[in-house]
Amino acid sequence: ELARASEEEKRTQVERLAAFHEEHRDEAEPALARLKDVASSGGNTFASLMEAVRVCSLGQITSAFFEVGGQYRRNV
């Protein structure tokens, strides 16, 4: 059976994400810039990715990778 989050759970998660972004506001942009730089130069992104996950959300990291490499689209 599919479980769905309640409106309260959704609201709480959005609030937690906003608080995380606010808490790491000053650290996130430099970490994402380093990640994009390594990715665009063809380097090994592991170390910069491990640094970024401490201060960036999955959405921020995904957007950074999309900016550098584009979005994968499956041919159907």
Q: What is the pLDDT of residue 49?
A: 95
Structure tokens at 76: 């159907």
Residue 29: phi, psi to the nearest 5?
-60, -45
Q: Return the number of other C-beta atoms located less than 10 Å from residue 63's C-beta.
A: 14
Q: What is the pLDDT of residue 70?
A: 74
Q: Return the number of other C-beta atoms located less than 10 Å from residue 67's C-beta.
A: 13
Whether pTM exceeds 0.85: no
| In the block, residue with structure tokens 């970490």 | 31
User: Which positions of the chain have pLDDT values less than 50?
Assistant: none
Q: What is the pLDDT of residue 76?
A: 65
